[in-house]
Amino acid sequence: MNEKDNIALVETLKKMYPDAKCSLDFTTPFEMLIAVILSAQCTDERVNKTTPAIFAKYNTPEDFANMDLALLESLIHSCGFYKNKAKNIKATSQILVEKYHSQVPNTMEELMSLPGVGRKTANVVMLEAFNSPQGVAVDTHCKRIANRIGLSNQKEPEKIEQDILKQFPKKYYYDLNHILIWHGRKICTARNPKCEDCSISMYCKEFKNKKF
């Protein structure tokens, strides 16, 4: 795809999903960080059902840093991989208290130094908590669409992200983080994608090759 087609693709999806936004519920950067950590290998819907009761009682780094690990595991059990997530959340909270005065850092490098925080999580926190998109968070939907359309032929999320970033101006990073995920959920699904309802099929490599 050329630059003109890339921009047309984004503008088309923006019109298709004018209300596209992050589906995780949060009120502070710290709540956002915890929610994104919990969302790994878990649906945003499940996370949103789990966090309200937790955040009503525990919503600061101090709360989680001092929490008994077994209690934390029980609170987040429904989100899956709860032992590893609980360990990372507690360790991250302790670092925030000790090193960052209980504040979530607002750089990619500092975020990615925290336990349980990879580039995808850091991208989401920078975008949603600080309104400062630094890249594109490549989840399963974004990966699928990027591969199908032809934005990238890579399989690793970080390599896919770099391919995407090379093709779009930074002013589109905010929208790309939302519209690709929404399109993947609503139209370009893993099984039985709704190609007949897709407004960007003219840009899709796999549609042109009639693989669906």
Among candidate residues 44, 139, 143, 175, the one labeled active-site is: 139
What one-character DSSP code corresponds to residue 207? Answer: H
Distance of alpha carbon 156 from the chain centroid: 15
Give me the amino acid identity at 167: Q
CA distance 177 to 156: 17
Residue 197 appears among annotated catalytic residues = no
- In sequence order, which residues have a C-beta less than 8 Å from that of residue 202 and are 6 or more positions away? none
Please give the helix or strand (H or E) that residue 166 lies within, else none. helix 157-167
Residue 194 appears among annotated catalytic residues = no
Among candidate residues 120, 155, 163, 197, the one labeled active-site is: 120
Q: 152 is written with which tokens? A: 């990238």
Tell me the CA end-to-end span of the chain in Å, nearest whole number. Answer: 20
Q: Name the residues annotated as catalytic.
A: 120, 139
